[in-house]
Structure 1
Amino acid sequence: MSRPLRLEFAGALYHVTSRGNERKPIFRNESDFSTFIEVLSDVCDRYNWVIHAYCLMTNHYHLLIETPDANLSKGMRQLNGVYTQRFNRNYQRVEITKTPTLI
């Protein structure tokens, strides 16, 4: 069963949490925490978010976000997507396949 749609409106405050697959770590070292904060900062600039509080733990995070522009879903997709891509690239978790050569 899918999760019900989240209501979004301008000026809303949200407590957001996200956890790694199988509750595995999403932050392995200090560099990962820094990367996440950098991506979060970019998302805040791009989507006009205000972060009131955050807590980064080894396998999950919590954010208290204000969304003046009613765009939580778009920003969360950006935040989780970009951080996941950087994490996977850094730890070589994505297999790079070569395109077959046509003869």
Structure 2
Amino acid sequence: MARLPRIDLPGIPQHIVQRGNNRLPCFLDDGDRLRYLHLMHEALHATGCQLHAYVLMDNHVHLLGVQSRH
């Protein structure tokens, strides 16, 4: 079955969860976590989106972000 199209909600906070495949770790060490945060910073700067909160767990990530208003 095809996936439904994503809802476009600029300005509305969204809870985003990223999980490791088969519950495997997303991060092996603090270096991985720092690299992830650096890449997240670059992506936020490039898109104009805002990140209000984040939690980096071993096998998943929680993000609370707001899509930019184009």
Higher relative contact order (CA closer than 8 Å, sequence separation 6+):
2
Rg larger in 1 or in 2? 1
How far apart are residue 57 of structure 1 and its match? 0.3
Structure 2 residues without counterparts, runs of 5 or longer: none
TM-score, structure 2 as length reference: 0.90
Structure 1 residues without counterparts, runs of 5 or longer: 71-103
How far apart are residue 69 of structure 1 and its match? 2.8
* Contact 1:15-1:62 within 8 A present in 2 as well: yes
* Contact 1:55-1:61 within 8 A present in 2 as well: yes
Q: What CA distance in whole angstroms lies between the structure 2 residues aligned with 1:2 and 1:32?
A: 33
Identical-pair percentage? 31
Aligned pairs for 1:59-70 (under 5 A) are: 59-69=59-69
Higher strand share: 2
How far apart are residue 14 of structure 1 and its match? 0.6
Aligned partner of 1:44 in structure 2 is 44
Q: What CA distance in whole angstroms lies between the structure 2 residues aligned with 1:13 and 1:69?
A: 12
Aligned residues: 70
Aligned partner of 2:21 in structure 1 is 21
Amino acid at match of 1:59: N
TM-score, structure 1 as length reference: 0.63
* Contact 1:12-1:68 within 8 A present in 2 as well: no
